[in-house]
Amino acid sequence: MINYNELTVPEATRIQREMQNEIQIVPHTDPVNYIAGADISFNKFSTTVYAGIVLLQFPSLLPVGYSLVKKEVLFPYVPGFLAFREVPALLDAWEQLPIKPDILVVDGHGIAHPRRLGIATHFGVLTNQPTIGSAKKKLFGNYEEPAPERGSYTPLTDKQGQVLGSVLRSKNNVKPIFVSPGHLTDVPGSLHIIQQCLKGYRLPEPTRLAHNAVNQFRLGEIPVGWSEL
């Protein structure tokens, strides 16, 4: 098990290189009865991380409950290595879930990352769970702007032209989101799942609800632990 609080950035880079060999970008063919969204909130200058996972039925997207965790972390805020701050709390939130989802959508990147190890991939490899990254901003890659209509998308590619994910217009005339497979999913499948999770907002429903829950938790409006809805 990785001791995240004692890692240096060079050691984290080595771990990412090692984890690259375990990434499986393959079609997800099993039935999806439950999906979950994960989000993390923290101040880059603080050691406190708030993590939340919201469990939903699929394809109805009816919320089942949420798991919330507050954790102290010591790994520094370094772009490209945010998973090393976020994953420990996310693992704790995952352990609290009474039902594990068939797919976890993480607010962040999957393989659309300089070393293919965004938080969705990092978490997916660690837990051997199917994951998808759905991010609000580009971290890595090249793309052409999709058409302004909801549902339009373009490929996100690296310098060699390998497709890493999709740039999806999730709502008319708003900034697109960046969808990439994390682990045990592929580019078309990840896009298809996220398209089914759009309910009129920019963010897909799993991560939108997780974002709301984490912010309420951070403000002290809802309690730590697992709560059914």
- The pLDDT tens digits of the residues spanning 100-153 come to 999 999 999 999 999 999 999 999 999 999 999 999 999 999 999 999 999 999
- Phi/psi at 105 (nearest 5 deg)? -100, 120
Supply 3's token pair: 């001791």
The type of residue at 82 is: L
Of 103, 106, 101, the C-alpha closest to 89 is: 106
**What 3-state DSSP class applies to 51?**
strand
* CA–CA separation, 210 and 218 (whole Å): 12
Q: How confident is the model at residue 43 (pLDDT cuts 50, 70, 90)?
A: confident
Cross-strand bridge partners of residue 165: 156
The confidence band for 2, taking pLDDT boundaries of 50, 70 and 90, is: confident
98: number of CA atoms within 13 Å, CB side?
Answer: 7
Q: Report cis status (omega within 30 of 0) of the bond before 59.
A: yes
What sign does the CA torsion over 37, 211, 136, 12 have? negative
pLDDT the model gives residue 5: 87
Q: Vertex 103, ends 183 and 158: CA angle to 5°?
A: 35
Residue 46, pLDDT > 90, answer: no
pTM over cut 0.85: yes
Band of pLDDT at residue 42, cut at 50, 70 and 90: confident
Selection from 189, 87, 177, 183 nearest residue 137 by Cα: 177
